[in-house]
């Protein structure tokens, strides 16, 4: 029986799955299996799975399209490991990941764990810029496992795992946006330990252009309100920061146009600080400039989604009961 079962939901990602399996085939520790769940893809990756079958213990399953959470739960029911590890299909795993994870769990046992993400040298400049915006402390890196934590660490499904006992107690993922935060919250409420394994990082490709990134981050902002309605205590001051950025930026631009041009100075100072941080982090003038743009898209998209959902669902009290809404997402 393997110690770890890697569960990956897939939807039309042949190229990404090949990169993922290639990186898993190069692991120095082989004490894992891979449970690949094709969620109704029109472009199947079964041939890719067979290609790596001699190098990696791969179990391939195909099912109707019902959503990534239901696909993960499907994989959970068919996994044999003591721990379940979740990656997104657009991840590439460093060769010592499982050796590092095994050592860290032996030294500091955890019921539920997660690790950070990074940008690989092979990623495009835009992917590196988006990775900077998602991990920098001046944006939301403190929420996602950065060097300085703004709240309790919450594992995310691009690099997350928990024990079989957790699954037997808490159950699987709910089909909803930000399902990993929901799961982590349920795990914590059940009394299990959760921790960041900083050394066990993955390379995460994320979105390849700003349009897709903006859409994704907008949904993240809206889902924060869904989480608030499920767990009122989960909404922290830090979650309001992107909304404050949107409102503050709008106010400064209007004031600079209709009152005093220097009203925009705080925004300029913040963007310069972002640029300096990005330049120091990426060591590339081009990526640093793109990183500032990606950060503005990230904060703006999240803040707009957050404000829209807060206004509609909290202030105006529209929409169905939140538990019903989560259930309605099943099968989509």
Residue by residue, pLDDT tens for the chain (332 residues) are 899 999 999 999 999 999 999 999 999 999 999 999 999 999 999 999 999 999 999 999 999 999 999 999 999 999 999 999 999 999 999 999 999 999 999 999 999 999 999 888 889 999 999 999 988 888 876 545 444 444 578 899 999 999 999 999 999 999 888 899 999 999 999 999 999 999 999 999 877 789 999 999 999 999 999 999 999 998 888 899 999 999 999 999 999 999 999 999 999 999 999 999 999 999 999 999 999 999 999 999 999 999 999 999 999 987 655 555 554 444 33
CA distances (Å), 205 to each of 21, 99, 236, in order? Answer: 15, 22, 28
Predicted structure pTM score: 0.86
């Amino acid at each position: 029986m393997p110690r770890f079962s890697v569960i990956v939901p897939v939807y039309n990602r042949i190229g990404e799955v090949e990169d993922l399996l290639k990186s898993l085939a190069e692991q120095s520790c082989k004490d894992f299996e891979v449970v690949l769940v094709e969620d109704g893809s029109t472009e199947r990756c079964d041939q890719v799975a067979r290609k790596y079958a001699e190098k990696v213990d791969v179990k391939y399953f195909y099912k109707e399209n019902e959503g990534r959470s239901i696909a993960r739960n499907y994989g959970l029911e068919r996994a044999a490991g003591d721990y379940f590890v979740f990656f997104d299909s657009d991840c590439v795993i460093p060769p010592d990941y499982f050796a590092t994870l095994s050592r860290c769990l032996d030294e500091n046992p955890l019921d539920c764990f997660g690790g950070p993400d990074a940008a690989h040298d092979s990623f495009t400049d835009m992917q590196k810029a988006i990775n900077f915006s998602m991990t920098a402390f001046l944006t939301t890196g403190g929420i996602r496992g950065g060097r300085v934590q703004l709240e309790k660490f919450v594992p995310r499904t691009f690099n997350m795992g928990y024990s079989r006992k957790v699954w037997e107690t808490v159950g699987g993922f709910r089909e909803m946006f930000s399902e990993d935060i929901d799961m982590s919250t349920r795990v914590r409420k059940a009394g299990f330990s959760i921790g960041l394994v900083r050394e066990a990082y993955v390379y995460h490709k994320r979105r390849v252009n700003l349009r897709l990134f903006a859409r994704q981050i907008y949904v993240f902002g809206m889902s924060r309100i869904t989480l608030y309605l499920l767990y009122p205590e989960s909404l922290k001051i830090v979650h309001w920061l992107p909304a404050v950025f949107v409102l503050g930026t709008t106010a400064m631009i209007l004031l600079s146009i209709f009152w005093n041009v220097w009203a925009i100075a705080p925004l300029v100072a913040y963007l310069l600080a972002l640029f300096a941080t990005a330049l120091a982090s990426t060591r590339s003038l081009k990526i640093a400039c793109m990183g500032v743009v990606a950060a503005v898209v990230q904060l703006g998209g999240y803040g707009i989604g957050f404000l829209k959902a807060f206004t509609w669902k909290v202030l105006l009290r529209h929409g169905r009961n939140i538990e019903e809404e989560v259930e309605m997402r099943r099968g989509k």
